[in-house]
Amino acid sequence: MTSTAVVAVDVGGTKIRAGSVIDDTVGHIREAPTPATQGRVAVLDSIAEVVRSVLRDTEAEVPGSATLRWRLGVGSAGVIDPETGTVVSATDSLAGWAGTLLTAELTDRLGFEARAVNDVHAHALGESFAGAARGTRSSLLVAAGTGIGGGFITEGRLLTGRASAAGHIGHIPVAAAQGLPCPCGGEGHVEAIASGPAILAAYRRAGGGAGSRSSVASARNDVSSTRQLAEAARSGDAIAQQAFAQAGRALGSALGGLANVLSPEAIVIGGGLAGAGDHWRQPLREAFESELIPAVRGLELRPAELGQDAALLGAASLWSTDTGSTDTGEACTNEETE
């Protein structure tokens, strides 16, 4: 990592989160809601405003920081072309985001240079250089949440792929998802059984939450989020436990196959589901290990360490020389996954 002073920003569909990154330390966090329905100009203006707040706070608190040469590192939802700093495509959760000249527009507003990558790839870079995979030259980050995304680092560089499209690990076919529709438009992919919404859907398909006809019990069992479902599983709801186990097994199996192909030094599990507990984690690990060929055995799934700061540290690392990113802005793409 470098001692360059960077304001790092994580742009998601619901929240803009930014902070200073000086000497690999995140500080002066500021957040604002993403004006996701108001179009690209509103989003760009909000990002710039949050960044200015971070700069004001930093300059007030860190002696000499007003004279630093600041740069901007962005991890954003959508498929981001790191070479041009543009948004290649994005889901409807960010209206008008596709086609945005992200780094150019932010440089116009802020007056300093900017680089950008997809948010999941920023997450992968952060865990690779500063988190659970630090010290490795190759690692796979898995972000399991609303979607299933990922980022693969090899020789210290992020795999970008043709059309900036690498890393879509949610779209590996798995037996357990056969016939289930996937958000990508296809079917049978691991995201169709293992994402947060897919786990909730499986729970409902299996009759979960409707065990008792009394209104009191119904209200208590009206599970509407993955977090609530995880609580239900911990409280002994067998259908919830089964939905998590099925999701964990499917994801573990897909990751085991991927490990046989990539043989990374580390696989890091992050995203909202990473806290779903043993009803998910144990089947995940068992299915993963059962797929490994002898030459790959011993590879373990590691929990992510940096939480929300991973994407900020990863976005900041775009300005670090040892990421290999200074010339081409290595980066990638993916849906949102938190």
Residues that bind its own copies (CB under 8 A): 79, 88-89, 138, 150, 152, 154-155, 157, 159-169, 171-175, 178, 184-186, 188-189, 253-254, 256-258, 260-265, 290-296, 299, 333
- What's the closest the beta carbon of residue 162 comes to its own copies, in angstroms? 5
Is 337 in contact with 144 (CB distance < 8 Å)? yes
If the CB atoms of residues 73 and 170 are measured against its own copies, the closer one turns out to be 170
CA distance 24 to 5: 9
If the CB atoms of residues 189 and 285 are measured against its own copies, the closer one turns out to be 189
How far the first Cα of the chain sits from its last, in Å, is: 25
If the CB atoms of residues 175 and 238 are measured against its own copies, the closer one turns out to be 175
- What's the closest the beta carbon of residue 70 comes to its own copies, in angstroms? 30
- What's the closest the beta carbon of residue 109 comes to its own copies, in angstroms? 28
Is 137 in contact with 29 (CB distance < 8 Å)? no
Is 59 in contact with 65 (CB distance < 8 Å)? yes
Is 336 in contact with 90 (CB distance < 8 Å)? no
- What's the closest the beta carbon of residue 186 comes to its own copies, in angstroms? 6
Provide the 3-class DSSP secondary structure of residue 68. coil
Is 280 in contact with 236 (CB distance < 8 Å)? no
If the CB atoms of residues 115 and 157 are measured against its own copies, the closer one turns out to be 157
Tokens 């680092």 correspond to 153
- What's the closest the beta carbon of residue 87 comes to its own copies, in angstroms? 12
CA distance 270 to 250: 16
Tokens 């806290």 correspond to 275
If the CB atoms of residues 46 and 246 are measured against its own copies, the closer one turns out to be 246
Provide the 3-class DSSP secondary structure of residue 310. helix
- What's the closest the beta carbon of residue 328 comes to its own copies, in angstroms? 9
If the CB atoms of residues 73 and 264 are measured against its own copies, the closer one turns out to be 264
